């Protein structure tokens, strides 16, 4: 027999044990269920790793075993994914991560209410359909984009800053809120020299702006992108080409803004005209400016920090949605940077 020597523990009694729970879900449509489970049940495997539950799929049935709270969380995730598949949306491993984050937030905000009340923000485009935020930082970002005329987004690579900004810009144009999209980047090599580039002006600047083109084609058909660029509805240009312009009824995106100098950033921000929206994204930890030159992004964020009409969103390594390994890589570099600062006594 086990005795309890501590009088406080004896008065309180033994610690409650969370018994293993078991939940079985049966989905109506077998094909939809298989899409939810993923190829070779990879989506279920992701849920198992993230929520520490065991899952057993058989046809359109799946059984969840584990702690009761974790099983309930997994159930909500699977039901949310099934609803998306039923609406014709595709499911990726990133969508599974997003559903897990969204379900956790809904539960914490509204434990006794309908899940839809706490749903993450989303953008809607003709080609891509509905794209929902995958974590709380992306949700905050989309809400800021809808609320403010000027938004700064800082954070590491892979957090969706540029991709979501382009999607939001396309949505604004398709809704008629703006008449043009102007997408820009500083033309700065990432620590190397490309030398002479042949071709016309577009050929020369395309290497610097390729990530923006990629995001644009994710949200628009290729023929619409090409037509928009020919008619001036879509303009992709280096930052240096912005000088002297006033941009009205436009959505203007400056990507990789950490590579803009102080004067370039001031010039860019003062291009904002009536009916326009401006988005500035960048990663302060990956500045390619010459040594000793101050980044215009960090300076602008500090100078405008007290303005209520300016939105600011910060992403961290935990918000990386590109790949699990990318999140770990970013974390390793950030830990090394913090260690170097402590060593130097900063």
Please indicate, yes or no, if residue 281 is contained in any of the structural domains. Answer: yes
Largest CA distance in the chain: 87
Give first-to-last CA distance, the chain, whole Å.
58
- If asked whether residues 196 and 271 sit together in one domain, one would say yes
Which tens digit of pLDDT belongs to each residue from 108-136? 544 444 444 457 888 999 988 888 888 88
Question: How would residue 297 be classed by pLDDT, with cut points 50, 70 and 90?
Answer: very high
Residue 202 confidence (pLDDT): 57
- If asked whether residues 105 and 231 sit together in one domain, one would say no
- If asked whether residues 107 and 150 sit together in one domain, one would say no
Which of 22-25's residues contact partners 24+ apart within 8 Å by CB, and which partners?
22/63, 22/64, 22/65, 22/71, 23/63, 23/64, 23/71, 23/72, 23/74, 23/75, 24/61, 24/62, 24/63, 24/64, 25/61, 25/62, 25/63, 25/64, 25/75, 25/78, 25/79
Question: How would residue 236 be classed by pLDDT, with cut points 50, 70 and 90?
Answer: confident
Which tens digit of pLDDT belongs to each residue from 250-276? 999 999 999 999 999 999 999 999 999
Q: What is the 3-state secondary structure (H, E, C) of 4-32?
A: CCCHHHHHHCCCCCCCEEEEEEECCCHHH
- Domain C-terminal end among 63, 95, 115: 115
| β pairing state of 20-26 and 61-67 | antiparallel
Question: How would residue 339 be classed by pLDDT, with cut points 50, 70 and 90?
Answer: confident
Q: What are phi and psi of 64, to 5 degrees?
A: -110, 135
Q: Is the pLDDT of residue 217 over 50?
A: yes
- If asked whether residues 156 and 187 sit together in one domain, one would say yes
Please indicate, yes or no, if residue 181 is contained in any of the structural domains. Answer: yes
Structure tokens at 191: 């620590």
How many domains does the structure of the chain reveal? 2
- If asked whether residues 246 and 273 sit together in one domain, one would say yes
Q: Is the pLDDT of residue 305 over 70?
A: yes
Please indicate, yes or no, if residue 7 is contained in any of the structural domains. Answer: no
Q: Which range marks the domain in which residue 21 is found?
A: 17-115
Q: What are phi and psi of 323, to 5 degrees?
A: -165, 145
Please indicate, yes or no, if residue 279 is contained in any of the structural domains. Answer: yes
Structure tokens at 340: 């170097």
- If asked whether residues 22 and 64 sit together in one domain, one would say yes
- If asked whether residues 90 and 133 sit together in one domain, one would say no
- If asked whether residues 109 and 137 sit together in one domain, one would say no
Where would I find the beta strands (DSSP E) of 217-275? 234-238, 250-254
Question: How would residue 102 be classed by pLDDT, with cut points 50, 70 and 90?
Answer: confident
The C-alpha atoms of residue 122 and residue 125 are separated, in whole angstroms, by 10
CATH number of the domain bearing residue 22: 3.30.1370.10
Please indicate, yes or no, if residue 66 is contained in any of the structural domains. Answer: yes
Q: Is the pLDDT of residue 143 over 90?
A: yes
- If asked whether residues 142 and 259 sit together in one domain, one would say yes
Which residues pair with residue 236 across a beta bridge?
183
The C-alpha atoms of residue 328 and residue 53 are separated, in whole angstroms, by 23
Residue 35 confidence (pLDDT): 92
Residue 165 confidence (pLDDT): 94
Q: Is the pLDDT of residue 231 over 50?
A: yes
- If asked whether residues 110 and 132 sit together in one domain, one would say no
């Amino acid at each position: 027999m086990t005795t309890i020597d501590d009088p406080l523990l004896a008065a309180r009694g033994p610690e409650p044990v969370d018994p293993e729970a078991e939940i079985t879900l049966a989905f109506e449509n077998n094909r939809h269920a298989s899409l939810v489970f993923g190829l070779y049940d990879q989506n279920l495997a992701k849920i198992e790793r993230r929520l520490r539950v065991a899952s057993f799929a058989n046809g359109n049935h799946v059984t969840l075993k584990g702690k009761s709270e974790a099983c309930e969380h997994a159930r909500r995730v699977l039901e949310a994914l099934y609803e998306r598949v039923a609406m014709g949306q595709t499911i990726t491993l990133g969508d599974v991560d997003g559903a897990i984050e969204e379900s956790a937030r809904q539960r914490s905000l509204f434990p006794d209410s309908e899940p839809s009340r706490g749903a993450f923000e989303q953008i809607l485009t003709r080609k891509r359909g509905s794209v929902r935020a995958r974590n709380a930082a992306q949700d905050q970002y989309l809400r800021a984009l809808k609320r403010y005329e000027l938004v700064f987004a800082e954070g590491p690579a892979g957090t969706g800053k540029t991709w979501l900004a382009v999607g939001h810009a396309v949505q604004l144009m398709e809704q008629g809120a703006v008449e043009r999209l102007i997408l820009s980047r500083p033309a700065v090599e990432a620590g190397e020299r490309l030398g002479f580039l042949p071709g016309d002006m577009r050929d020369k600047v395309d290497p610097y702006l390729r990530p923006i083109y990629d995001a644009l084609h994710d949200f628009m058909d290729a023929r619409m992108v090409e037509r928009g660029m020919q008619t001036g509805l879509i303009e992709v240009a280096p930052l240096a080409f912005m000088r002297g312009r006033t941009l009205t009824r436009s959505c203007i995106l400056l990507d990789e803004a950490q590579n803009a100098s102080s004067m370039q950033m001031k010039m860019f921000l003062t291009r904002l005209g009536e009916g326009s929206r401006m988005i500035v994204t960048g990663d302060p930890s990956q500045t390619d400016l010459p040594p000793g030159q101050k980044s215009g992004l960090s300076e602008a964020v500090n100078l405008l920090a007290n303005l209520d009409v300016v939105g600011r969103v910060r992403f961290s390594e935990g918000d990386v949605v590109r790949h699990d390994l990318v999140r770990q890589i970013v974390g390793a570099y950030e830990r090394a940077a913090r260690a170097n600062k402590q060593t130097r006594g900063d």
